[in-house]
Amino acid sequence: MPSLKEIKGRIGSVKSTLKITSAMKLVASSKLRRAQQAIQSMLPYERQLHAILQDLMADYAAKVDLGKIPESEGMGGAFVAGREDVRKVALVALASNSSLCGGFNANAVRLALDTIREYRSAGIDVTVFAVGRKMAEAMRRVGVNPEEVPYEEGTLDLVKLSEKPDYVHSSVLGQRLMDGFVSGDFDKVELVWNHFVSTASQKATRETFLPLSLSETGASLVSEEARKGLFIVEPSTAYQVSELLPKVLKLKVFTILLDSSAAEHAARTVAMQTATDNGEDLLQELTLDYNKGRQQKITSEILDIVGGSLK
């Protein structure tokens, strides 16, 4: 059994650790509330914008079928049409900049590496955009050099983008992905991140970013007016789609970054709460052992005194 001095030292160490984990839990909880508000405010807007785009595309298709308008090249076909022969894929993988968040980083990294192995086994080249320090470090450990994003005579700081997502910088990343897809640098673009389900649940998610699927929100949600080609659009449907489509795609990148940020803070909150609970349990056990040892020592000293007086 450890000595009383050793147990007392461990008690002091556990108490110091508890102060740290408790403080980190409070900080993570505060950041989680802000991140939740951000993603909850953004999701309805992003979904509605996607629904508007889907309505415009459905209205356009109906009018073409009815012979009301000719087919136009400005309908975003470059972003919607899939490639028959996929040879080059861009993978945007998101993680955090720090640890102490449970399996958050490990789950995202595992899914990203599985995706890379899947494409490489099929002879497909994969370009990785690693958002977050932990993702970039994991990619370099397996010999994958993350792609850089040019920005203002330099490169976009994807580490900072993971820590503090903002629309301006996320749209730069979105534009790079769109340019690469249109130019043929990539035949497909995929996203890997941790989706925020609840404070206690974050799900590693993989989704196709390009080509864009206009049925994400469900074909049943397309309005009846759009199906019949009854929209009156000025100056033209093609113009509105050409303006709206890039915004929808850039907003998608920003939404994913907000979603990943909320998931990270949720994972860290739960991890620090678990660590605090475990620390408190350990502290109780150590205190009990210390009290037992002290009592045993006192009892032993009393017996020595009594034994000496009897002699």
Residue 177 resides in a domain:
yes
Q: Which amino acid is at 78?
A: A
Name the region of 196 (left: φ>0; alpha: ψ -120 to 50; beta: rest).
beta
Residue 258 resides in a domain:
yes
Residue 38 resides in a domain:
yes
Confidence of residue 264 (pLDDT cuts 50, 70, 90): very high
What pLDDT score does 212 carry? 83
Task: Show the domain range for 152.
Answer: 26-216+227-271
Distances (CA, A) of 86 to 82, 211, 212: 9, 11, 15
For residue 34, the domain's CATH number is: 3.40.1380.10
Mean pLDDT of 161-180: 92
Non-local (6+) Cβ contacts of 15 within 8 A are 283
What pLDDT score does 309 carry? 61
* Residues paired with 203 in a beta bridge: 195
pLDDT in tens, 127-144: 999 999 999 999 999 999
Residue 1 resides in a domain:
no
pLDDT in tens, 192-242: 999 999 988 999 999 999 988 765 444 456 778 877 777 888 888 878 888
Residue 278 resides in a domain:
no
Residue 263 resides in a domain:
yes
- Give how many domains the chain has, as a whole number: 1
Residue 245 resides in a domain:
yes
The answer to whether residue 60 scores a pLDDT higher than 90 is no
Mean pLDDT of 55-68: 81
Report the range out of 49-63, 108-122, 155-169 with the highest average pLDDT: 108-122
Of the given ranges (42-46, 263-267, 306-310), which has the lowest mean pLDDT?
Answer: 306-310
What pLDDT score does 65 carry? 80
The answer to whether residue 80 scores a pLDDT higher than 80 is no
d(CA 45, CA 51): 10
Comparison of pLDDT for 3 and 33, the residue scoring more: 33
Q: Token match 């979603």: residue?
A: 259
Burial letters for 50-61: b for 16+ Cβ neighbours within 10 Å, e otherwise?
A: bbbbbbbbbbbb
- Pairing, β 188-198 against β 125-131: unpaired
Residue 89 resides in a domain:
yes
pLDDT in tens, 85-121: 899 999 999 999 988 898 999 999 999 999 999 999 9
Count CA atoms closer than 13 A to 29's CA, side-chain side.
Answer: 9
Mean of all residue pLDDT scores within the chain: 87
